[in-house]
A and B are shown apart, each in its own frame.
Chain A
């Protein structure tokens, strides 16, 4: 009985910690302009949809969301594809320098992004990929490959050799073994890595800011950062846009929370 009470208290505490800041912001998005700047602040809004209308119609929120979906989705897809193949090679082929390579990847991810932003921008400019989806996607793939490769390698190492040996003996090529046998087994790991990459690309701000300056292509973080208007700080619209922007992510995490935890469980600890 005591245990149940303790658990309940802690759970509620954790719930408050995680939800209140976000709920406060979300509630703000439903206030009327007068309620927004009321001092002291009002807790319960009167459910005005003005800010949402303004955010969607006048500030093109849907376009930002669409751009983010395209960029993050493409980057995730390609990064996982490339990373899986690389991780398989690292896990299976008994290469002597595997650990060194993984360590090198880790070392790369330690470099501050502000410093590599300049040269990356330069490179994209030479390729004529600035203000294109592919430019930003390419940068995201490169920046998320270290973490993705790390997690995927760990998972592939866990796939039992015997199953693969059996397939090889039966006449499958290496590649067939890879995508018919190994991938399904390592699915949780792939899933985890994909989610991490997607969230990284969805959240990323700095590169998106300097690579995409065409408003038709800008992603959500950049769009929200550019909300501050000429005369005013439109907290209402920002709150509305933020709520809309995070709802898909929240739904995704709610749906896949078990998979996420399981994925991190297997990968993180063994790594």
Chain B
């Protein structure tokens, strides 16, 4: 008898719970993105949009912080043709994959070429696949070198222009500072997507590349790439960074720097404001920022990052979704978000805007870096290729005795097999 009563209670509870869901707003716009530390990134713009469009509600769903994990969640919804997701953020390496899979809506009828030209070149190119555009860039990122201005000045070392100079400078400072907790370099070398960004910056600045996207073959086993990887293993990880960086993503590596425990630091532009925030950083005001070094004979290469907005192909409200996307990426909104969060905008005009430059003077010098930023190769099979490369890089960096040439050959062979899959892609 007690069981029956409990059964009824449970049934009632379940019924009530399911009711709770059906009382949700009628057909709101659903927007999936990562959680931001500041309200100015998503919450305030969304509130503004709702005010300007009475009757419309935007529900923001948060996914994991890590780009890799967010990707897996969003693709899960898309591959099952979920109609409950309308707008979502895309990392700069996703558009080709999402376009090929038929997950992102082509935006050409909304996003004309003339309008595309208002944005920086590199992100627009990353959003195009086969002569169509699939995303609208929101902000842009590029790899940068941060350094302790005070330490370099103290030992009269000029900001390094080449990687060997950087290593030399770090070694000098480490020897003279005699601080057992100080390290020469802090970067992101965990086995995840960020590792590709870091390693690509070394490889491309040595005039190598990850793969040849004309011939669709891997170039990891070519001499420039091998030399760059060898340099990282022997000199960066081996001499001036501590082995903990092999488990670092952006947050951990940045904390090492802002606590004053690292001389050089590689990160995205957002690190500038965090490092100079006297509330949370011990080195506020002592930070320098510059383009990444290169190898002699090569050219500095910053990995292109950034986020764009896309519309799901399965959304039933594409017109409304576009209104939201164009609102978020409008000149006024991008300016607001930039001023509020310090993120670098994707619209070119904002780099010469008086107000923006007043508050974020570093953006002026960053424009050149963004214009020359190197995108990771654009292909629908980027994720499998990235996983193969992550495995290769992580293995040779974490296990100092591995034979780099042999591992590179294996990785290249695996990459070629994946690249073969797209060789016979049908004409657009």
A–B contact at 8 Å CB threshold (below): yes
Q: Which of A105-155 contact B (CB under 8 A)?
A: 118, 121-122, 125, 130-134, 137
Taking residues whose C-beta sits less than 8 angstroms from the other chain, chain A's interface range is 35 or more
Contact with B along A227-243 (1 / 0, CB 8 A): 01111110000000000
Residue B18 is within 8 A (CB to CB) of chain A in the complex: yes
What's the minimum C-beta distance from A199 to chain B, rounded to whole angstroms? Answer: 18
> Is B259 within 8 A of A229, CB to CB?
no
Q: Does B403 contact A (CB under 8 A)?
A: no
Cβ contact within 8 Å between B37 and A230: yes
Q: Given A183-B3, A213-B32, A226-B64, decide whether A231 and B10 contact each other with a Cβ distance below 8 A.
A: no
Whether A233 touches B255, Cβ cut-off 8 Å, given contacts A131-B84, A132-B18, A137-B14, is yes
**Whole-angstrom distance between the alpha carbons of A165 and B64 in the complex?**
57
Closest-CB distance, A46 to chain B (whole angstroms): 19
Which of A74, A225, A231 has the most chain B CB within a 10 Å cutoff? Answer: A231
Task: State the Cβ distance, B25 to closest chain A Cβ, in Å.
Answer: 12
* A77 contacts partner chain B, Cβ-Cβ < 8 Å: yes
Q: Is B420 an interface residue (CB 8 A)?
A: no
Q: Identify the stretch in B75-83, B171-179, B185-193, B225-233 within 8 Å (CB) of chain A at 4 or more residues.
A: B75-83
Residues of A within 8 A of B9 (CB): 77
Q: Are B61 and A215 in contact (CB under 8 A)?
A: yes
B residues near A213, Cβ cutoff 8 Å: 32, 61-63, 73, 77
Q: Is B355 an interface residue (CB 8 A)?
A: no
Q: Are A133 and B18 in contact (CB under 8 A)?
A: yes
Total residue contacts A-B, CB cutoff 8 A: 99
Q: How far is the CA of A133 from the CA of B13 in the complex (A)?
A: 11
Contact in complex: A214, B59 (CB < 8 Å) = yes
Chain A: CB-nearest residue to B341: A230
Distance between B285 CB and nearest chain A CB, rounded to angstroms: 19
A179 contacts B by Cβ under 8 Å: yes
Q: Are B21 and A132 in contact (CB under 8 A)?
A: yes
B18 engages A226 (CB within 8 Å): no
Interface flag for B17 (CB, 8 Å): yes
Chain B min CB distance to A176 (Å): 10
Cα distance, A133 to B64, chains bound together (Å): 20
CB distance from B41 to the nearest CB of A (A): 8
Closest to A58 in B: B37
Q: Which chain B residues numbered 59 to 74 have a C-beta less than 8 Å away from chain A?
A: 59-66, 73
* A134 proximity list for chain B (CB < 8 A): 14, 17-18
Contact B251 A231 (CB under 8 A): yes
B76-A210 in contact (CB<8A) = yes
**Chain B neighbourhood of A228, CB < 8 A:** 64-66, 251
B155 within 8 A of A: no
- Is B274 an interface residue, CB under 8 A from the partner? yes
Q: With contacts A210-B73, A213-B73 known, is A180 near B1, CB below 8 A?
A: yes
Given contacts A122-B80, A213-B61, contact A231 B73 (CB under 8 A): no
Q: How far is the CA of A179 from the CA of B252 in the complex (A)?
A: 57
B110 proximal to A (CB < 8 A) = no
Question: B321 contacts the other chain (Cβ, under 8 Å)?
Answer: no
Question: Which residues 1-27 in B have Cβ within 8 Å of A in the complex?
Answer: 1-4, 6-7, 9-10, 13-14, 17-18, 20-21
Instruction: Please measure, in the bound complex, the distance between the C-alpha atom of A77 and the C-alpha atom of B61, giving whole angstroms.
Output: 29
Does residue B254 face the partner (Cβ distance < 8 Å to A)? yes
Does B181 lie at the interface of the complex (its beta carbon under 8 Å from any beta carbon of A)? yes
Query: In the bound complex, do residue B65 and residue A121 qualify as a contact, i.e. CB atoms below 8 Å apart?
Result: no
Majority secondary structure of chain A interface residues (helix, strand, loop or mixed): helix
Complex Cα–Cα for A130 and B18 (A):
12
| Contact of B34 with A by CB under 8 A | yes
A209 close to B (CB within 8 Å): yes
Q: B84 touching A78 by the CB < 8 A rule?
A: no
**Any chain B CB within 8 A of the CB of A20?**
no
User: With an 8 A cutoff between CB atoms, is B36 at the interface?
Assistant: yes
Taking CB atoms, residues of chain A closer than 8 Å to B17 are 70, 74, 133-134
Is A246 part of the contact surface with B, judged by Cβ < 8 Å?
A: no
Min CB–CB distance A185 → chain B (angstroms): 13
Query: Is the CB–CB distance between B73 and A209 below 8 Å?
Result: yes
Nearest CB in chain A: distance from B176 CB, A: 22
Residues of B contacting A225 in the complex (Cβ-Cβ under 8 angstroms):
64
Minimum CB distance partner of A223 in chain B? B62
B417 CB, nearest partner CB in chain A, Å: 23
CA distance A226 to B84 in the complex (A): 21
Evaluate contact between B62 and A179: CB separation under 8 angstroms.
no
Contact A231 B18 (CB under 8 A): no
Q: Which of A77, A130, A180, A226 is in CB contact (< 8 Å) with B35?
A: A226
**Do the beta carbons of A39 and B181 come within 8 Å of each other?**
yes
A253 within 8 A of partner (CB): no
Collect the chain B residues with CB atoms within 8 Å of residue A125's CB: 80-82
- Is the pair B10, A37 in contact by a Cβ cutoff of 8 Å? no
Query: For A73, A122, A180, A226, which residue has the most chain B Cβ atoms within 10 angstroms?
Result: A226
Cβ–Cβ < 8 Å partners of B20 in chain A: 133
Q: A215–B252 Cα gap in the complex (Å)?
A: 26
Shortest CB–CB separation between residue A129 and chain B, in angstroms? 9
**In the complex, residue of chain B having the shortest beta-carbon distance to the beta carbon of A212:** B61
Instruction: Kindly report which residue of chain A lies nearest to residue B277, judged by CB atoms.
Output: A231
A81 on the interface (CB 8 Å rule)?
Answer: yes
Task: Give a binary string over A10-25; 1 marks a CB under 8 Å from any B CB, 0 the rest.
Answer: 0000000000000000
A230 adjacent to B61 (CB under 8 Å): no
Known: A121-B80, A230-B37, A231-B37. A214 touches B61 (CB 8 A): yes
Besides A77-B7, A77-B13, A225-B64, 6 other A-B contacts (C-beta < 8 A): A37-B255, A74-B17, A121-B80, A213-B32, A228-B251, A231-B254
Q: Can you sample 23 A-B contacts with CB below 8 Å?
A: A39-B181, A74-B17, A77-B6, A81-B10, A118-B76, A122-B80, A133-B21, A213-B32, A213-B62, A213-B73, A213-B77, A215-B62, A225-B64, A226-B62, A226-B64, A226-B65, A228-B64, A228-B66, A229-B251, A230-B35, A230-B37, A231-B251, A231-B254
- Interface residues, chain B, with chain A CB atoms under 8 Å away: 1-4, 6-7, 9-10, 13-14, 17-18, 20-21, 32, 34-38, 59-66, 73, 76-77, 80-82, 84, 181, 250-252, 254-255, 259, 270, 274, 280
- Cβ-closest 9 pairs across A and B: A77-B10, A230-B37, A133-B17, A233-B251, A228-B65, A213-B61, A132-B21, A179-B3, A134-B18
